[in-house]
């Protein structure tokens, strides 16, 4: 079986790497054509465009890995089936699950690799690519592009402060629904401040409808809260700091996002719910490649006339359905309809069950 395992693994890997290469090139070309007019019109330097895609390619890479695994599985198994190699192996007493073992092992290794890249590389490259897009590729556009409100802004400020705002108006220079956590030297929360809004006066931040209260080591309020209709809080962060700090889970590793959520526990589920869904999805997403191999395999093994094409078409439909289920469950989680962990993992759970069921029917 070692020879057969190597044969199947080699066929899968060669197809998988080829799919990755083609998909990345296609994605880059499509993205370039989406703003080719701006490149020519505003004479954007070629170096800026190359730098952007150098840092953006890892994001594309992570997004297309599951589809590359899907198509590679279909290609390898349909070829084995067309050449009657599956029948020969079964006739020799080799079960279907044993035949699929090298693909499942590779799928697991791809999932681990995906998690590592998504956790260690993407947070760094995403920040740089977004900065290049904003400061190099989009700075030539009309000023109305700047007329926007940035959602979920977070800044790790000076003085052991974490400042979170539900939104930031880049034109009015106004923060809304603000929470400020101040920590001591041992990273323990000691002071919490909430405010309805904050306006940049030109030299400082003026906060409106402010409540401050001290917190002990257990997170309990010490004494009575202090209320202010207006209060100047000496933040060193300027409007540009908030404009460049739109909170995105992709900019954080799993541990960084976990620690960030811990800092805001007790501030209400409206603040943490979306982040909890994103946190759990960081673990669930890498396993899509492994699960989609199980789902694609039974359809690639159809033996009826035209079975290969039917298998390819059906598997692609199932792959798209997989992503649809994930998108819906994540939306339900962020809306509070599903618990965060279930929202992140429900797609994987459903399709793992479907894959095992369909494969057992083929045994």
Shared domain for 111 and 169, answered yes or no, is no
- The answer to whether 294 touches 352, Cβ cutoff 8 Å, is yes
Whether residues 52 and 31 share a domain: the answer is yes
Show which of 218, 244, 268 is a domain's final residue: 268
Question: Can you give the residue range of the structural domain that contains 284?
Answer: 2-139+280-362
- Could you say which of 208, 241, 268 is where a domain stops? 268
Ordered DSSP codes for 151-175:
EEEEEEETTTEEEEEEEEETTTTEE
Look at the chain and report how many structural domains it folds into: 2
Asked if residue 20 is part of any domain, the answer here is yes
Q: Is 274 within the bounds of a domain?
A: no
Work out the average pLDDT over 169-183. 89
330 neighbors 344 (Cβ within 8 angstroms): yes
Say if 337 falls within a structural domain: yes
Across the chain, what does the average pLDDT equal? Answer: 85
- Spatial separation of the C-alpha atoms in residues 134 and 155, rounded to whole Å: 18
- Position 358 in a domain: yes
Instruction: Say if 275 falls within a structural domain.
Output: no
The answer to whether residues 190 and 163 belong to one domain is: yes
pTM of the model: 0.78
The per-residue pLDDT for range 21-70, each reduced to its tens digit, is 999 999 999 999 888 888 888 888 889 999 999 999 999 999 999 999 99
Domain shared by 69 and 162, yes or no: no
Q: Write down which residue in 268, 290, 309 finishes a domain.
A: 268
């Amino acid at each position: 079986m070692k020879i057969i395992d190597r044969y199947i693994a080699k066929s899968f890997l060669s197809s998988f790497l080829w799919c990755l290469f083609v998909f990345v090139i296609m994605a880059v070309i499509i993205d370039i054509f989406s703003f080719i007019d701006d490149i020519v019109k505003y004479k954007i330097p070629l170096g800026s465009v190359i730098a952007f895609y150098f840092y953006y390619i890892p994001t594309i890479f992570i997004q297309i890995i599951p589809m590359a695994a899907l198509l590679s599985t279909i290609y390898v198994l349909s070829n084995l089936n067309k050449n009657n190699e599956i029948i020969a192996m079964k006739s020799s007493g080799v079960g279907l699950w044993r035949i699929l073992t090298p693909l499942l092992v590779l799928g697991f290794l791809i999932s681990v690799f995906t998690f590592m890249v998504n956790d260690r590389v993407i947070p760094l490259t995403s920040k740089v690519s977004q900065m290049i897009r904003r400061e190099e590729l989009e700075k030539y556009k009309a000023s109305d592009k700047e007329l926007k409100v940035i959602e979920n802004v977070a800044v790790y400020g000076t003085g052991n402060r974490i400042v979170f705002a539900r939104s930031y108006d880049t034109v009015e220079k106004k923060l809304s629904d603000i929470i400020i956590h101040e920590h001591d030297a041992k990273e323990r929360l000691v002071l919490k401040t909430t405010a309805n809004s904050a306006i940049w006066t030109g030299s400082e931040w003026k906060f409106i409808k402010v409540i401050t209260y001290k917190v002990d080591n257990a997170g309990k309020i010490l004494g009575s809260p202090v209320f202010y209709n207006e209060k100047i809080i000496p933040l060193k962060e300027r409007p540009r700091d908030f404009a460049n700090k739109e909170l995105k889970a992709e900019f954080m590793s799993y541990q960084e996002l976990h620690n960030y959520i811990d800092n805001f526990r007790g501030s209400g589920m409206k603040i943490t719910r979306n982040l909890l869904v994103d946190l759990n999805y960081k673990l669930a997403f890498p396993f899509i490649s492994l699960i989609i191999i199980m789902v694609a395999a039974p359809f690639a093994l159809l033996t009826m006339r035209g079975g290969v094409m039917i298998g390819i078409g059906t598997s692609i439909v199932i792959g798209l359905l997989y992503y649809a289920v994930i998108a819906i469950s994540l939306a339900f989680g962020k809306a509070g309809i599903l618990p965060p962990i279930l929202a992140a993992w429900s797609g994987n759970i459903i399709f793992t069950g479907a894959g095992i069921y369909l494969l057992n029917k083929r045994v």
